[in-house]
Structure formats: structure tokens, C-alpha cells
Amino acid sequence: MSETTGSPFDLLFAVLGNFGVPIPEETKAEITENCIIREYKKGETILDYREICRNVSFILNGVAVSQFKVGIDERISWFMLQHDVFISIISFFDQKPGAEKIYALEDTTCICLPKTVLDDITDRCLAFMEVRLKLTEHYYKELARQQYVSHLPPLEQCAWLKMMKPALFEVVSQARIAKFLGIAEETISRKLAELKKNEGLDFDQVFYQ
């Protein structure tokens, strides 16, 4: 788990600042006042099946994983790493019970902001509305890449993960990554060895990045 220095909110606003829109100090103060810092132990549920996602969460440190059920099987949909912002998308926007479970893969600390506060601040602050739109655009693009890559052969899937999410292989076991990709653990080990031998793959860098 990575260590954070300074105020947790300084880190949050530094990440949001990467979108190039200054957030007014009074808005930062309001966000800080209404956020909750929550600590989750390894394996602890952050959001369970059929619960309503009422917060948007920013990972200060740790790793979270989302999964869903297909019949009796549970399948991993994605991993959230340090400095990621996450929600259960459908449950959050509809404010209805969701079909997704999110839990901490290791000890994880999050800054959580209630949707009601988020919406209220967005309505009153144009700069924060722009940040929210840019953040939403960022994750829409990431979701589109994930969906496209999920249809590629295992070697290219591994290559994309290594290129776009190198930290994933440092904090998540190959067994879980293999489960996410829908391949055997032995297969992912072999494909990673091929990538190392071939020094990666030459494919559409523009789309993947």
C-alpha cells in the first residue's frame, strides 16, 4: 500500500486539478466539510449487491474490486487503484439497488462524498460542473477501452493492461487478473513471458491511450 503525504484533501484536489479547471477555494472548503474518510479492511465490503450507491469515492491508498453475478458465478468487472474515483454506475445515477459488489482487495482508505452534496455543489459552481464533466468523460473513455479490449485475444489484453495499468500487476495477483480476463492463470503467466520476450506489442496506440 502506498503512503500519502500532506492532507488527504490536498491529494484529492491535486488529482482533480489535472483536468485543468481551477476549483474555487470556497468550493474546496465545502467539499472538505462534507466528505467522510472511510477505512476498509482487506476483504471488507464497500458496496454490497442490492445496495444503493450513495457516494462517489476517491481512493487515497489501497485497491478495490468490483464484481457481478452471472447465475451462481461471480465475475470481476474492474479494479480500482490508488487515486481512482469510483461509483457503481447504474445504482449511483438511478439511486436504486445495484447488481454490483465492490470490496477492498487490501486495506483501503477512501474519501467519500454523498451524491446529494455532489449534485448541490455542481448546480451552484460552474467550475466544479466542468471538472465533473471532464471526470465523467475520462471514465467513459476508460470504460469504452475496457469493453473493446475484452474482445481481443489474451495476449493483446495482457499487453493493454501492462501498458495502461502497470501498477495493477504490482498490487493484484495474477490469479485475479486471469479471472478478470477469463483465462487460466497459467495462460496469463505464459502471455506475460511472451510480452517480455517480444518487448510488448505494436498495436493501435492512439485508441488504447
Nearest Cα neighbor of 100 from 54, 77, 68 is 68
Is a pLDDT exceeding 60 seen at residue 104?
yes
The answer to whether residues 123 and 24 belong to one domain is: yes
pLDDT, tens only, 5-56: 458 999 999 999 999 999 999 999 999 999 999 999 999 999 999 999 999 9
Q: How confident is the model at residue 188 (pLDDT cuts 50, 70, 90)?
A: confident
The answer to whether residues 114 and 14 belong to one domain is: yes
User: Rounded to an integer, what distance in angstroms lies between the CA atom of residue 115 and that of residue 197?
Assistant: 47
Q: Which domain holds residue 67?
A: 8-137
Q: Where are the alpha helices (DSSP H) in the chain?
A: 8-17, 25-34, 89-94, 115-124, 126-149, 154-164, 168-171, 174-181, 185-198, 205-208
The answer to whether residues 41 and 132 belong to one domain is: yes
Residue 58: Cβ within 10 Å count: 24
The pLDDT, as a whole number, for residue 177 is: 84
- Phi, psi (5° rounding) for residue 39? -115, 130
Q: What distance lies between CA 191 and its chain's CA centroid?
A: 24
- Range of lowest pLDDT (98-102, 108-112, 150-154): 150-154
Q: What distance lies between CA 104 and its chain's CA centroid?
A: 12
The answer to whether residues 83 and 119 belong to one domain is: yes
The answer to whether residues 101 and 173 belong to one domain is: no
Residue 3, domain member (yes or no): no
Q: How confident is the model at residue 138 (pLDDT cuts 50, 70, 90)?
A: very high
Whole-prediction pTM: 0.85
Read off the pLDDT of each residue in 78-95 and give the average, rounded to a whole number. 95
If phi over 0 gives left and psi between -120 and 50 gives alpha, with beta otherwise, what is residue 200?
left
The answer to whether residues 126 and 25 belong to one domain is: yes
The answer to whether residues 125 and 203 belong to one domain is: no
Residue 11: Cβ within 10 Å count: 18
The answer to whether residues 108 and 185 belong to one domain is: no
The answer to whether residues 24 and 120 belong to one domain is: yes
CATH number at residue 74: 2.60.120.10
Instruction: Examine the fold and report which residue of 88, 112, 137 is the final residue of a domain before the chain moves on.
Output: 137
Instruction: Examine the fold and report which residue of 88, 107, 137 is the final residue of a domain before the chain moves on.
Output: 137
The pLDDT, as a whole number, for residue 199 is: 58
Choice between 192 and 19, residue whose per-residue pLDDT is larger: 19
Instruction: Give pairs for 141-147: CB < 8 Å, separation 24+.
Output: 145/207, 145/208, 146/78
pLDDT, tens only, 105-136: 999 999 999 999 999 999 999 999 999 999 99
